[in-house]
Amino acid sequence: MSEDCIFCKIVAGELPSKQFHQDDLVTAFQDISEQAPLHVLIVPNQHFKDVGEMGDAQAEILGRIAQVAGQLATQEGVASNGWRLVTNVGRDGGQEVFHTHFHLLGGRPLGPLLAR
Ligand code: 5GP
Ligand code: ZN
């Protein structure tokens, strides 16, 4: 747990969120400012500032994130039309919250990845 990290607090249940999933490694909850009909953030329960800080020792966590993304896409009804899983790192990546998180997006055509 990192002091003053909003996602650590959401994982711990100290800040409210609409939770989609929680297990021993990861938590998934709705983005507060959704960019698509389905916009879920999937985060490791443990604090890492970004995915670049995660290595071999975190392989199970990263695998779980991908697995949970697929399960939630199916559960939320976007699996057949498709979805996107993306993580931002650092300033140029547009990262705003420095606790690793993957955006699961779906429910509308998402367009080219690099379109602004
Ligand atoms: P980033 O730009 O770092 O990749 O994404 C951060 C995301 O966190 C943004 O999409 C933003 O809407 C979301 N966010 C920021 N604060 C909160 C919060 O307190 N609760 C939830 N559920 N999402 C948040
Ligand atoms: Zn954190």
Tell me whether residue 113 is in a domain: no
Tell me whether residue 114 is in a domain: no
Residue where the block lists tokens 């959401």 = 10
Q: Phi, psi (5° rounding) for residue 79? A: -60, -40
Q: Which atom of ligand 1 is nearest to the CA of 33?
A: 12
Number of structural domains in the chain: 1
Residue 85, Ramachandran bin (φ over 0: left; ψ between -120 and 50: alpha; else beta): beta
CATH assignment of the domain containing 65: 3.30.428.10
Q: Which atom of ligand 1 is nearest to the CA of 17?
A: 22
Separation between Cα atoms, residue 17 and residue 95, nearest integer Å: 20
* Domain boundaries, position 62: 4-104
Tell me whether residue 33 is in a domain: yes
Tell me whether residue 115 is in a domain: no
| Catalytic site includes residue 101 | yes
pTM over 0.95: yes
- Residue 10 makes CB contacts below 8 A (sequence gap 6+) with 16, 17, 27, 29, 43
pLDDT of residue 115: 56
Write the pLDDT tens digit of every residue in 56-72: 999 999 999 999 999 99
48 lines ligand 1 (CB under 6 A): no
Tell me whether residue 70 is in a domain: yes
